[in-house]
Amino acid sequence: MDVLIPTCDRPGALAVTLTGLLSQDMVLRIVVSDQGDRDARAVPEVMAVSRVLEAQGHTVVWFRHLPRRGLAEQRAFLLSQAEAPQALFLDDDVILTPHALAPLRATLKAERCGFVGYGLIGLSFRDDERPHEQELTCWEGPVQPERVTPDSPAWLRHRLHNAANLYHVGKKVSGHKRYRVAWIGGCVLYDVGALRAVGGFSFWRDLPEHHCGEDVLAQLRVMARFGGCGLLPSCAYHQELPTTVRDRRVDAARVLSL
């Protein structure tokens, strides 16, 4: 499995994210695309984890990918580096629990869909119970293609991924549950062929440098043709750092067609 990580000026968070890959059940090829003002490889904590990953048999590939042309272009570059049939797009501020990746890989293989992912849990909201946002619709049969748009009723599913909703819902389920999503941010395993078949992130040329929602648009396109799902319980936690995407006036999922 390839793990594709975009990063920009968050070396501490990146070190934590990389550490989470140490306790997985497979050999990984990890590709980091760094667009920070400072090279993350110059930070001792980052390189220490990288050395341990390599000592365990993983491959770590580093790129200084500049100049910045926006998040969609950054993801398009990472996708161009993918060599494995499955690739995990992992944000640089995610904590994975041990053995988190094996269920994603098994589900993607069994369902033969376009993607499967973990919604991120923000544990600072652990005591914030939100029943009105915790509607869960599980897949009872095989995952099927599904057309979701920002104006469709299914878009409201994104509320399940707010705050610590997945933490609360996950405690009520047994085994691994596949569920219907609007989209998933931060930790998504793709069938690389499916993602490339819908154009990947090549739409970056149609967006200004400052935008958001590029991961959402790519998932909507994959889901419409190949299907996609979330997996419970989630094994991915958000570090809850301030966003690096401050200008959100252009939302790719709303300004470009599905």
Number of domains into which the chain is organized? 1
In sign, the C-alpha dihedral spanning 201, 207, 213, 216 is negative
pLDDT of residue 243: 84
Indicate the pLDDT class of residue 247, thresholds 50, 70 and 90.
Answer: confident
Range of 40's domain?
2-255
Indicate the pTM of the whole model: 0.97
Chain-centre distance for alpha carbon 145: 19
Q: Cis peptide leading into 67, omega within 30 of 0?
A: yes
CATH number at residue 32: 3.90.550.10
Measured distance CA(53)–CA(106) in Å, rounded: 23
Measured distance CA(80)–CA(62) in Å, rounded: 14
Please tell me the number of Cα atoms within 13 Å of 114 on its side-chain side. Answer: 24
Q: What confidence tens digit (pLDDT) does each residue in 1-44 have?
A: 999 999 999 999 999 999 999 999 999 999 999 999 999 999 99
Q: What confidence tens digit (pLDDT) does each residue in 112-169 have?
A: 999 999 999 999 999 999 999 999 999 999 999 999 999 999 999 999 999 999 999 9
